[in-house]
Amino acid sequence: MDYFEAKMQIPSNTTAPSSGPLFEYIVNRQIESFHLPLGLMKYMVLMNPFLTDHETKVSHRGVAPHGRAWRMIKEEWPRIKNDLDTGKLSPLGLVRVKSLNPFEIRRNHQVLAYGYDLNENHLSIHIYDPNFPNDDHASLSLNIEKPESTTSVLHSKSSDPIYSFFRTDYKFKRPVVLN
């Protein structure tokens, strides 16, 4: 995302570096993308197995936390849509595990949204997924009609569960220039 924002060409080497400036840059940006400690807390809240996938009577009244679907559709999707509608990329955190164990956070994933299609209530978010490099056909799809109901999120290239997603915070950092 930094290279895109800087309007710079991404490094052409397709082999992941194991040392050097590009390696250090990638590792540091990965760590920074968690926005410690608050960024990790968002994952932990959405991973909590006691958080419902849908709205309950008490969450509907604002007495208890909103469920995963409501948060995803009512809070996160408008932020993502705003990014994409203004020509920006939108970094997403995918919640793929329900657990109170903080070490399970490693099972979650990050992707980058670059476009979307919305046909009535059927949403398809076009993503770059680093697990499927050079594949411009990866997407997340869901129905946004009923945020009060449990909502399935499907990844076009993976059968791993996605319980929720959210827009992660992003701060630009000048990318590494390789000679």
In this predicted model, what pLDDT tens digit does every residue of 64-87 receive, in sequence order?
Answer: 999 999 999 999 999 999 999 999
Report yes or no: 47 and 68 within 8 Å, Cβ to Cβ: no
pLDDT score at 179: 63
d(CA 125, CA 112): 10
Residue 107, in any domain of the structure: yes
Digit-coded pLDDT (tens) for 4-41: 999 998 888 778 889 988 899 888 888 888 777 777 89
Residue 100, in any domain of the structure: yes
pTM score over 0.85 = yes
Residue 178, in any domain of the structure: no
Residue 46, in any domain of the structure: yes
List the domain range (segments joined by +) for residue 44: 37-167
d(CA 124, CA 163): 16
Digit-coded pLDDT (tens) for 129-139: 999 988 989 99
Number of domains in the chain: 1
Distances (CA, A) of 160 to 53, 116, 134, 137, 167: 17, 21, 20, 17, 19
What are the start-end ranges of the E strands in the chain?
90-95, 109-119, 122-128, 139-143, 154-155, 164-167
Report yes or no: 86 and 131 within 8 Å, Cβ to Cβ: no
Report yes or no: 48 and 98 within 8 Å, Cβ to Cβ: yes
pLDDT score at 44: 95
- Structure-model confidence comparison of residues 35 and 125, the more confident one: 125
Residue 3, in any domain of the structure: no
Residue 16, in any domain of the structure: no
Digit-coded pLDDT (tens) for 143-177: 999 999 999 999 999 999 999 999 998 888 999 88
pLDDT score at 36: 75
Report yes or no: 25 and 175 within 8 Å, Cβ to Cβ: yes
Distances (CA, A) of 99 to 6, 24, 92: 37, 31, 20
